[in-house]
Structures are given as C-alpha cells and as structure tokens.
C-alpha cells in the first residue's frame, strides 16, 4: 500500500537536480534576506534585497511559474528597489556604517517575522502536501495558464486586491496633502506633484539644494537649534564656533 503510494511520485530522499537547485537558491535567498535586515550599511541592505528578491524569482522559475517570475523581477527588482534607492539617496545614504540604523524593536520584529513565516509555511505545506509538479508535461505556470486561473477562478480576490491598492493610492495622496497644508507651502500640497512643484527652471537647483540641505541640517542640529532664516542660521553658527 505504502509502496504503491510512493511509487507515484519521487521519494523525499531521492532528490532530482531541480530540487537540489531549489534548495540551494533558497539558502542563498535566505542568507541575502538575513544580511538585508542585519547589515549596518543602508544602501547595502537595499542591494542585498535585490539578491533576495531575485532569488525568489529564480525559485518561481524552478517551480515552472515563468510569468510570475518575470513579473517579480519587473515589479520588485526593477521598480520597488529603485524607488527604495531613490528614497535613500534623496534623504540619507552615507557610505559606510550608520550606527543609528538599528531599531529598538528588534526582538518584536523577529517575533513577528517568525510567527508570520510559521503561518505561511504551515498553510503552504497543508495545502500542497502531496502535490508534485510534473516537469515533463506542458508548463503549468505559463502565461496562459496563469491568466486563466487568475481571471476565471480567482477574479473576485484579484479585483478586491485592486481596490485595496486604490485605497492605498488615495491614502498616499491624502497624507501628502495634509503635510502640505501644515507646512503652509503654497507651491506644494498637490500630492505627488508637490515634490516637483517648485518654480520652473529651478528644479535642478532644488535637487542640489536638497542634498546640501540635509547635510547642513545634520550639522546645525548638532551645534544649535533656534534660527529663523538661512542667513541668521549661518551667522549664528559661525558665532557659536568663535565662542
């Protein structure tokens, strides 16, 4: 009985080349993910994230889900990480270590991560316990198959997700509007346009100023606190240096 059952699919301890590759890529992905959250260098963390996300794309490929794999690369590596790096460079991206990059919530974060990982592993293992992918037959994760599954069997969750994303978009616009009002900035305050809403033709200076400004703010924040205009700021700072 058990012999007949095991004859149907390859045994657990007789791995094929694909399975070995799957495990190896999984280990690399896991390692990259660990480095992402533990490294003290911010930009390195973002780049290790590229390795981790790319590793997941390779895992999808090995599971014959080709379409999902390329979408993973397109969205996560090509767009999300670029957005992340853009944000880092725009605000603070020192070369070398940033000792203040650690959060006090490390233990809590670890707990949440382990709990969610356990839940996911449990659900996946429970759902696909004895299912084996037939690598010989037609690809089961081809674009056609994925499309049919998504738009015939899972249309409702798909549309619900779109609504969720729409809500997130609207939320982002609302948040950025509020910031504009508080700052009493006449130019900004129109959502995504706010960041580019500066006077025409001065954008390049605005961009240059922004990086300079963050540097300057760091420096002045350390020396003194209360200034009204830039000029006062500079003269006061030099005065303090003299004394």
Residues at the interface with other proteins (CB under 8 A): 43-44, 47, 50, 66-67, 70-71, 73-74, 77-79, 81-83, 85-86, 89-90, 93, 95-96, 139, 142-143, 196, 198, 200-201, 203-204, 207-208, 211
Q: How far is the CB of 6 from other proteins (least distance, A)?
A: 31
> Tokens 């590793």 correspond to what residue?
55
Q: Which is nearer to other proteins, 67 or 180 (CB)?
A: 67
Contact assessment for residue 139 and residue 145, using Cβ atoms and an 8 Å cutoff:
yes
> Tokens 């969720």 correspond to what residue?
164
Q: Both tokens of residue 120?
A: 């996911």
Helix-then-strand count for the chain, H and E: 10, 0
Measure the CA–CA gap between 172 and 75, rounded to whole angstroms.
Answer: 19
Q: How far is the CB of 168 from other proteins (least distance, A)?
A: 17
Measure the CA–CA gap between 6 and 2, rounded to whole angstroms.
Answer: 6
Q: Which is nearer to other proteins, 89 or 120 (CB)?
A: 89
Nearest to 81 by CA among 61, 57, 64, 99: 57
Largest CA distance in the chain: 90
> Tokens 């694909």 correspond to what residue?
18
Q: Would you tell me how many other CB atoms lie within 10 Å of the CB of residue 233?
A: 16
Q: How far is the CB of 156 from other proteins (least distance, A)?
A: 22
Q: Which is nearer to other proteins, 63 or 139 (CB)?
A: 139
Q: Which is nearer to other proteins, 16 or 235 (CB)?
A: 16
Q: How far is the CB of 77 from other proteins (least distance, A)?
A: 6
As a whole number of Å, the CA-based R_g of the chain is 25
Q: How far is the CB of 78 from other proteins (least distance, A)?
A: 3
Q: How far is the CB of 113 from other proteins (least distance, A)?
A: 26
Name, in order, each residue with C-beta under 8 angstroms of 180's C-beta and a sequence gap of 6 or more.
188, 189, 190, 194
């Amino acid at each position: 009985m058990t012999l007949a059952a095991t004859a149907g699919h390859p045994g657990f301890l007789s791995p094929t080349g694909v399975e070995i590759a799957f495990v190896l890529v999984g280990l690399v992905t896991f390692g990259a993910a660990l480095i992402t959250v533990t490294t003290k260098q911010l930009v390195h963390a973002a780049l290790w994230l590229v390795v981790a996300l790319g590793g997941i794309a390779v895992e999808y490929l090995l599971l014959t889900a080709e379409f999902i794999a390329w979408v993973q690369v397109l969205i996560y590596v090509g767009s999300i990480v670029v957005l992340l790096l853009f944000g880092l460079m725009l605000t603070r991206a020192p070369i070398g270590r940033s000792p203040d990059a650690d959060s006090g919530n490390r233990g809590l974060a670890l707990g949440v991560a382990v709990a969610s990982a356990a839940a996911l592993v449990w659900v996946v293992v429970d759902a696909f316990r004895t299912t084996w992918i037939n690598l010989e037959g037609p690809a089961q994760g081809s674009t056609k198959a994925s499309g049919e599954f998504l738009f015939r069997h899972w249309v409702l969750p798909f549309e619900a997700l779109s609504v969720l994303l729409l809500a997130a978009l609207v939320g982002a616009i609302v948040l950025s509007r509020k910031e504009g009002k508080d700052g009493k900035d006449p130019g900004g305050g129109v959502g995504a346009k706010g960041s580019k809403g500066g006077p025409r033709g001065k954008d390049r200076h605005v961009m240059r100023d922004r990086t300079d400004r963050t540097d300057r703010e760091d420096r002045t924040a350390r020396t003194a606190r209360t200034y009204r205009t830039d000029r006062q700021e500079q003269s006061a700072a030099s005065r303090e240096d003299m004394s």
